Amino acid sequence: MTPEALAQEIGRAADGKRRFIAALAGPPGAGKSTLGAALVHALGRGARLVPMDGFHFDDRVLAARGLSHRKGAPETFDGWGFLNLMERLKAGGEVAIPIFDREMELSRAAADVVTDEDRILIVEGNYLLLDEDPWRRLRPFFDLTMFLDVPEAELERRLLGRWEARADGAVWVASNDLPNVRRVLHGSVQADRIIRF
């Protein structure tokens, strides 16, 4: 299925609803951000992307908690804060959202704004369907759940490419990214739609 065809399906499901929230989950390296942006583009006016990555704890917080070596794992996100965001998005009104800046490796607060004109929200993130607290509490906010299914070997290849400029890139992927991949693959609940591209 192409992103355009998937966007048409989402548009039909959202027809007549004041706000429709679709979750796009999947492991690191699956292509969630790319697909989410393509869906928003295909849906056009009234659609907005809401990334979970803006809820990364800052590096200083991770260091203080002894979690620097696990950056990207579920416990390195403000999951309860993200849950509060979903409550506000479901209720409507103007809501500022944080965006994670990959070049700066930090979250920028209020870097985007969701308004009532944004009727269809594509929420993307690794842990949207994770069957652990607080993540499991997100499901009632989603009108549709989608999961990007990519073979683990391909995810490893992509993640090694992502970190190739880093001297310890291969070690980082093996010790951090792949455990996160497996946590998502084996610890997420079934989505409404499984997507394979």
Q: What is the pLDDT of residues 137-153, one digit of tens each?
A: 999 999 999 999 999 99
pLDDT of residue 105: 85
pLDDT band at 102 (very low <50, low <70, confident <90, very high): confident
Asked if 138 and 128 count as a contact pair (C-beta separation under 8 A), the reply is: yes
Question: Starting at the edge strand that comes first in sequence, how are the strands of the sheet with 193-195 ordered?
Answer: 47-51, 120-125, 20-25, 144-148, 193-195
Q: Report the C-alpha gap between 24 and 76 in whole angstroms.
A: 20
pTM listed for this prediction: 0.95
Q: How big, in percent rounded to 5, are the helix, strand and coil portions of the chain? A: 45, 25, 30
Asked if 196 and 186 count as a contact pair (C-beta separation under 8 A), the reply is: no
pLDDT of residue 165: 87
Q: What CATH number is associated with residue 40? A: 3.40.50.300
How many domains are contained in the chain?
1
Give the range of the structural domain holding residue 149, as residue numbers without chain letter.
Answer: 3-195
Question: Rounded mean pLDDT of the chain?
Answer: 96
